[in-house]
Structure 1
Amino acid sequence: MADWKRRLNDRAYTVTFLLLALFFLLGGGFLKLMAAEKENLSSVLERENRMVKAFSTRPAAPSSRPFLENLFPAVSSPSLLASLEAAGLSVDSITEEQKEEEMGIFHIFHVSGTGSYAQIVQTFDIIKGKERWSAVNLKELKRSPKGLAYEMEIRTFQIRGTYEEEKYSPHRPYGHREEPGGKNPL
């Protein structure tokens, strides 16, 4: 036993004892940091799990579709007839059909009548200028004794779908309302 005490008090071993003490101190600090990191990760995962459980138990959010349907009411034949007559066209017949698809309710009007070329072109501009989104497909245009006879299909729909989101998304080459080769015009 005396030999052991003598070695502890020997100055030749002092540097070794200091290095061992430093090694154990740094090792303990490293293990403490690793344990703290694991505890932090565990608490973050636990908090995330609580948030996921809380989100899964929440009731489903109401759909915005009724709001959009009220915001953009369906086009009626009389309102379309008034729009066409405001452009100077005469309308012989209007037939309507409805198609409900995934994106919304489509109203398709088949319109035939007569008018001049300028009136027909102006009608396309009037329909596109409305708050409702419309697509006009000119099916037939021919001469008649009353002027140019036309047959067109006007498609209006209430819910635009995801086109706006796709159109201005950053992963597209000209997203965010940027023109090709130019800066943002807005």
Structure 2
Amino acid sequence: MIPISVNSSRDAEILAGLQLGGPARRSFEELLYTSFFYLTREGERKYSLTTDDSASAYSDAVISVIDNVVAGRFEHRASLKTYISQIFYNKCVDLKRKSATNKERVHHTSDLDTMMMMLPDNARNAVQQLIDNNNRILLRQKLSEIGEKCKELLLLFEDGYPDREIATMLHYNSAEVVKVSRRRCLDKLREKMPGYE
């Protein structure tokens, strides 16, 4: 099949933005997420999913699209809408199959407090755990609600910056202050995400 050109300037803008790294890419991830969020209603209607399950399948689809675009696996054979729709519908089918085979309980994740207790202090933080559990988009939304300073601190930590560098970048007195502040920020984040308490 011969690749076709991107179907809109908005597609081109999003695709180019996703190729950027670090903080510059985040706004395009958000743009991708919000552009096709209406698909979740179809997931509810067509696949009889709950609102939360449909949103979760959609978040998984967005993460897959981002990963595929960044890795160069998106071949421009369809519009972004068509591409994300197909991935989303596949995620919905997968979710229904898990439900139908009565293995649903196996697929439930641990709550955030349990995960935090299981992790040593120097292991990946709760933000990284949530990303690993395909909740990146929901997390980004909630991060914007906990204050800009907390959001910056957690995103820098997620990007792998050590506490001493974060202290310098965000003008904290020391790496220890960053560690304490991060714990407070995570507490705020847990309050915003009651399903993970």
- The verdict on a shared fold, with TM-score over 0.5 as the criterion, is no
TM-score, scaled to structure 2? 0.25
TM-score, scaled to structure 1? 0.26
The structure richer in strand per residue is: 1
Relative contact order: is structure 1 or structure 2 higher (C-alpha 8 Å, sep ≥ 6)? 2
Larger Rg: 1
The structure richer in helix per residue is: 2
